[in-house]
Amino acid sequence: MIKLLSKNIVLYGGTNALKSLVPLLMLPILTAHLTLSDFGVLSIVETTILFVTPFIMLNINAAINVEYFKLEHVKLKEYVTNALILSLLAFMIVITFVAILREQIALFFDIDIRLIVWIIIFAMLRVVSSVLLGLYQSRQEATHFAFFTLSQTVFDFALSYILVVIYQFGYIGRLEGIYGVYGIFSIVGVYLLVRMDYIGNITFKYTKDILNYGVPLIPHAVSGTVMAMSDRYFISYYIGNDEVGLYTIAYQISALMLLVSMSVNQAWSPMLFKLLKEKNIQKVMQITVYLFIIFTLIGIIIYFLEGLLFQIFVDESFYQAKEYFGWLLIGFIFQSFYFLVTNILFFEKKTKLLASMTIIGASINIVLNYFFIQWYSVIGVAYATAITWFLFFLLVLLVDIKLLKGNK
């Protein structure tokens, strides 16, 4: 098992490393062709897309990943089809609601009104890719996962470069590059799902089960986005979009920690679900502790590479962003720990409990952001991020320990 885990970590890690190079390689390009304020607006728009995505995706990817290990293929095919139809219906409801209230929403989020409806479309374009990649992950087909992801990454960078550098479309060009490619690969993804025999006749047979699993996770996903991204809104409101740009640069560099942890989690979660199904709790705890240690060591290495990373990826005029790097990195280390422990709650279908805990975490984050940005300026939201993820990880860990003891 350790050998297979190591192999998949290398494949997922290499894939995510190359995928993560896109925003990193785009940094010098964007800072050369966008104003710092435009960079901040781009960050706010992308944050808003992440905010609305759970209302459309309904967390069907997570539900499918769990049911993969519990349903025979014929039933799983019906489940996947049912889930995709529900996501499409959710998209139609959300885009109608947003179109009616687009002026108020644009004013609230300080976003160009012309982008409001497009944000919902952009969110919908994430669904098929997420489902397909989740199935590749569950099937432990890391090679197919890597090929699909890297193909999307190459097209993303190429189209974004053309639109931003050659056609000078600014931050709109970057958005068109990202989501134009998402659109193309959504069509490819549907074709692959049909070819893999995961899409059949329209059915609503599993609607109740999908909604019971996914809907409680909407507050979880939204609250998770709040914890990860609300700092941008506070900076924008209290300080300005220029500082959002600097903060986002530090965020993207320190997010190398997430590259590692997400790669490990993608390789580990299918194996974890199998061990939990077999009630091999001791093995689960041993490997989890091992991964905690690995994450900590990698976080320390990234910290000491700060100067080199900024030298490679960031223009010298933006080095002020270094101020936020360390605290954001600490937050990402605790977020990485959280990834490991939250999988158990997903497997046990404790989605309502997880949603409640995430709401608590988001509430803590909002309160800390509100006070800390006024007491310490921008660095305050970095403090808030680190503290929030530590407390949230600790809370989930304590619940997991109780669940695992009950399953022995």
Q: Tell me: do 268 and 407 sit in the same domain.
A: yes
> How far apart (Å, rounded) are the C-alpha atoms in residues 186 and 74?
23
Q: Tell me: do 209 and 224 sit in the same domain.
A: no
For 306-355, the DSSP string reads HHHHHHHHS-GGGGGGHHHHHHHHHHHHHHHHHHHHHHHHHHTT-HHHHH
Range of the domain at 364: 216-408
> How far apart (Å, rounded) are the C-alpha atoms in residues 115 and 101?
13
**Collapsed DSSP state (helix, strand, coil) of residue 353:** helix
158, two tokens: 């190429």
Write down which residue in 215, 235, 257 finishes a domain: 215
What's the distance, CA 221 to chain centroid? Answer: 9
86, two tokens: 């529900």
Any domain includes 27: no
The answer to whether the CB of 60 falls within 8 A of the CB of 211 is no
The answer to whether the CB of 237 falls within 8 A of the CB of 366 is no
Q: Tell me: do 347 and 386 sit in the same domain.
A: yes
Q: Tell me: do 211 and 224 sit in the same domain.
A: no
Residue type, 385: T
Q: In this predicted structure, what is the pLDDT of residue 387? A: 94
Any domain includes 6: no
- Computed over its alpha carbons, how large is the radius of gyration of the chain? 21
**What total of structural domains would you count in the chain?**
2
Smallest CA-to-CA distance from 60 within 282, 207, 214, 233 is with 214
Write down which residue in 186, 215, 244 finishes a domain: 215
Q: Tell me: do 207 and 270 sit in the same domain.
A: no
Q: Tell me: do 205 and 220 sit in the same domain.
A: no
Q: Tell me: do 200 and 340 sit in the same domain.
A: no
Any domain includes 7: no
Q: Tell me: do 186 and 233 sit in the same domain.
A: no
> How far apart (Å, rounded) are the C-alpha atoms in residues 194 and 10?
29
Write down which residue in 215, 243, 277 finishes a domain: 215
Number of H helices, E strands in the chain: 18, 0
pTM (two decimals): 0.72
Residue type, 293: I
Note down pLDDT in tens along the chain; length 408 residues.
Answer: 555 555 555 666 566 666 666 676 777 777 778 777 777 778 788 888 888 898 999 989 888 988 888 889 899 999 999 999 999 999 999 999 998 988 887 777 667 788 888 999 999 999 999 999 989 988 878 788 888 988 998 898 899 899 988 988 888 898 899 899 999 999 999 999 999 999 988 888 899 999 988 887 787 778 877 877 788 888 888 887 778 878 888 888 898 888 778 777 777 777 788 787 777 778 888 888 889 999 999 999 999 999 888 888 777 777 888 899 999 999 999 999 998 888 888 777 777 787 788 888 889 999 999 999 999 998 999 999 999 999 999 998 898 888 777 655
Q: Tell me: do 152 and 41 sit in the same domain.
A: yes
> How far apart (Å, rounded) are the C-alpha atoms in residues 360 and 20?
30
The answer to whether the CB of 43 falls within 8 A of the CB of 232 is yes
